Structure 1
Amino acid sequence: MSRSIRRGAVAATLALALAPLAAACSSGTDAATTQLKPDSAYTQVGTIKVQNLSLVTGDEGSGLVSLGGALINESDKPETLKQVTLAGAAAPGTMKGQDGATSITVPARGAVYLTGEKGGPSVTFSGAPDATAGKYVDVTFSFSTVGQTKLGVAVHLPEDHYEALKPSSSPSAAPSTPSAPATTPPASAPATGTSASPPATGAASGAPESGGPTATGTATAPATTPAANSSSRPPASNEPANS
């Protein structure tokens, strides 16, 4: 077989092998390469798109889980996210919206991003021990107008680009303990009271100066006896005239 015939056979074989791939690439937006789905969860309810959802755990044993994602409003009116629940959590998620609101409002033709940014909107769940990394847990969104939607969301460890979403524990009440030492200074009050009491006893016993050497407890007795004797002697002052 000549060299030119062998080249023609190889070209024909390659053309047959590449024909299915060429057909897939030429099918526009329906091509298989455009049908790949991201790892993060997404859904749509009415005019609200919920995209790029992920759950991120807190410290081991804390039971805290935070929600990350994007809420996109395709309506001409604002939409309010009233509640978010996590399957197995002790309570609905704690939401922090704009200006300290307990709900999150998605503006008309706008979006809200849950990225873990300090001071930004957030959703945090507590008491969720079953939400461990590698699992999918159902999350339910309740909106004011379009209603509810539920979907499974993957749980991740707070690592790499998920680290910013790590939920933090609420501040403890430990800073209030320093007030305890402030109560100890009144304990010095009895010391000042005892120092004030000796002058008071000294004034009571200081009527006669001769009583100074005696104990303060007995000083009151001598003070009363002279008075008693002087009151009993008025008749005796007249006796020298008889002698």
Structure 2
Amino acid sequence: MSRSLRRGALAATAVVISIASLSACGAGNDAQTLEVRPDNAAVTVEDVKIQNALVITQPDPGAVGPAVVSATVFNNGRTRQTLDSITLPGTVGVVKLKAAEGNGPIVVPAGGSVVIGGAGNASATIEGGLREARNGDAQKVVFKLSKTGDVGLSAFVVPAHSYFKEYGPSELPKPPVTPPSTGAVPTPSGTATPSGTATPTGAATPSGEATHAAGH
């Protein structure tokens, strides 16, 4: 085999190995994050890397309901960390964290990662929604980890459409329930009437009349 043919064969082998490696990565814990567009916010502080950070609102404009923070948190250190809080500076929004399983904290394992948002993953719910920000804005989000501390970045605010639908709020606003109309006009169950008319039991009359003695 000539040198040029050998070089071509080696190059093709390298491409196959690269594709196989990427496929193997996609099959791991972070496979779901590959569905999220890769041009979203990312930051690295010490051993912690946060990428694909988003604030996802209700799918319909003007709808009132919870919003969520979605992200992938990587821990490249040798010690596990917990995600203690997520805050949204400049807003009154309070973020409630929930682990994927159980009632404990969200744990980012050493040398591993955790996905926040989406079915079966940990969640970060902005219970009152995010009224201070509109879709398309960049919202400051601060992740506080047990060892690294605060890790802040600006995340895009997007509605739960298209790529982001599966990572959006699981609770959607419900339309108000209107009781069915029967056409009947409510009436009082009874009308209070007097049981009787008060009348005097008797008329006071003089027991006798005064008369003058005869002959006077």
| Interval of TM-score (by shorter of Structure 1 and Structure 2) | 0.5 to 0.7
CA shift for structure 1 position 93: 0.9
Structure 1: tracts of 5 or more residues without a match: 1-37, 173-243
User: CA distance change for structure 1 residues 143 and 53 in 2, over 3 Å: closer, same or farther?
Assistant: same
Q: Which amino acid aligns with 1:46?
A: E
CA shift for structure 1 position 90: 3.0
Q: Which structure dedicates a bigger proportion of its chain to strand?
A: 2
2:40 is matched with which residue?
Answer: 40
1:138 is matched with which residue?
Answer: 140
Deviation per CA, 1:153-173, whole angstroms, max 9, x where unpaired?
10111111101122133899x
Kindly report which structure 2 residues correspond to 1:70-85, keeping only aligned pairs within 5 A, or say none.
70-85=72-87
- RMSD between aligned alpha carbons? 2.4
**How many aligned positions are there?**
135
Quote the sequence identity (%).
Answer: 30
Kindly report which structure 2 residues correspond to 1:51-66, keeping only aligned pairs within 5 A, or say none.
51-58=51-58, 59=60, 60-66=62-68
CA shift for structure 1 position 100: 2.7
Q: Structure 1 length as normaliser, TM-score?
A: 0.50
Structure 2: tracts of 5 or more residues without a match: 1-37, 175-216
Mapped partners of 2:166, 2:100: distance in 1 = 19
Q: Which structure dedicates a bigger proportion of its chain to helix?
A: 1
1:168 is matched with which residue?
Answer: 170
Indicate which of 99, 104, 107 corresponds to 2:106: 104
Mapped partners of 1:89, 1:153: distance in 2 = 14
Ranked by relative contact order (alpha carbons within 8 Å, sequence separation 6 or more), the top structure is 2
SS at match of 1:164: helix
Mapped partners of 2:94, 2:79: distance in 1 = 26
Mapped partners of 1:153, 1:96: distance in 2 = 20
SS at match of 1:99: coil
Mapped partners of 2:93, 2:160: distance in 1 = 22
User: CA distance change for structure 1 residues 161 and 136 in 2, over 3 Å: closer, same or farther?
Assistant: same
Q: Is the 8 A contact 1:90 1:126 kept in 2?
A: no
Mapped partners of 1:113, 1:64: distance in 2 = 19
Q: Structure 2 length as normaliser, TM-score?
A: 0.56
CA shift for structure 1 position 99: 2.6
Deviation per CA, 1:81-107, whole angstroms, max 9, x where unpaired?
100012344343111114333531101
CA shift for structure 1 position 80: 0.5
Mapped partners of 1:161, 1:151: distance in 2 = 21
Q: Which amino acid aligns with 2:121?
A: G
Mapped partners of 1:87, 1:53: distance in 2 = 15
Kindly report which structure 2 residues correspond to 1:1-243, keeping only aligned pairs within 5 A, or say none.
39-58=39-58, 59=60, 60-101=62-103, 103-117=105-119, 119-127=120-128, 128-169=130-171
Deviation per CA, 1:96-122, whole angstroms, max 9, x where unpaired?
1143335311011111112411x3211
Q: Which amino acid aligns with 2:40?
A: S
Which runs of structure 1 show a deviation greater than 2 angstroms over 4 or more consecutive aligned residues? 87-92, 98-103, 168-172
Structure label with greater radius of gyration = 1
Mapped partners of 1:94, 1:170: distance in 2 = 17
